[in-house]
Amino acid sequence: MSLGDFVPYGEAMVVTAAAIIIGYRSLSLRGVLVDRPYRTRALWTAIGAFSLVAFFGAGFLDAFYPATSVEGVIVEAIAWGFVFLVVYGWVATSIEVAISADYFNRDALSWKRGGKIATIAALLVSYIAASLPPWWIPPQYQDPGATAITLVFFGVSVYSAIVLAITVRRIVDRSIRNYTKWVLISIVLLFGGVFTTGTSELGDLLGVALSVAWILSMNHSVTTLAIRTRALPT
């Protein structure tokens, strides 16, 4: 087995084990947090921890159910739809609770005035286009279409990360700002791993490094969230 064959499986096993631990810590912490916004943060931190696992799972399903039949198209549409639902839910919720933590509740890059709706619409249209059976699309349009869809997802990712970064700088509460900062780092690392893994052998190695950094940042976000509890976790 070559390095290129081993890396995805090894990375998936390590990330899955780490995500289970991080998710368990987040859900356990949610049970002792006092305020509802903090409980929401803990819940979506756990969901965010499983987002990369869902990404790996959908990728492995591609090998068993290639989009060359109706069954394959349906399975891939459901699997990848769940991945993007989880990831976007984690990102959007992180932005919402970060904005609510700002004393002046200021908007960032028109997120509340249409930016959120625009990102949902862009992702929905792009996802429907990506889920169409390949035999419906003429060959000359397949590569340009895939590139356009990738650019849309990349643009939405960058926009969301910038909105969250701006909001982080506006939060006065140092504890919440520190937690949100680590969430932002985790989101950026997640998107970095998604856009590099599978591009080349070097990209796979970079994806491994980003996955390790993602694990550390997610774990640190849980640690910084351990405030305002009935009893500190041991």
Extents of the domains making up the chain: 3-224
Residue 167 in contact with residue 98, Cβ under 8 Å? yes
User: What angle is formed at CA 187 by the lines to CA 185 and CA 189, rounded to 5 degrees?
Assistant: 70
CA-to-CA dists, residue 38 to 161, 173, 229, angstroms: 21, 13, 9
Residue 220 in contact with residue 24, Cβ under 8 Å? no
The pLDDT score that the predictor gives to residue 6 is: 60
The average pLDDT across 98-119 equals 88
The average pLDDT across 143-170 equals 90
CB atoms within 10 A of CB 132: 13
**Amino acid (1-letter code) at residue 153:** F
The average pLDDT across 168-194 equals 86
Q: For every residue of 50-90, which 3-state class applies, written as one string?
A: HHHHHHHHHHHHHHHCCCCCHHHHHHHHHHHHHHHHHHHHH
CA dist 29 and 23 (Å) reads: 10
CA dist 139 and 74 (Å) reads: 21
The average pLDDT across 93-118 equals 88
**Which residues are CB-contacts of 63 (< 8 A; sequence separation ≥ 6)?**
none
pTM exceeds 0.85: no
The pLDDT score that the predictor gives to residue 4 is: 52
The pLDDT score that the predictor gives to residue 191 is: 86
DSSP for 163-193?
HHHHHHHH---HHHHHHHHHHHHHHHHHHHH
The CATH class of the 3-224 domain is: mainly alpha
The pLDDT score that the predictor gives to residue 1 is: 46
Structure tokens at 234: 């041991």
The pLDDT score that the predictor gives to residue 204 is: 74
The average pLDDT across 64-76 equals 84
pLDDT(52) > 80: no
pLDDT(228) > 70: no
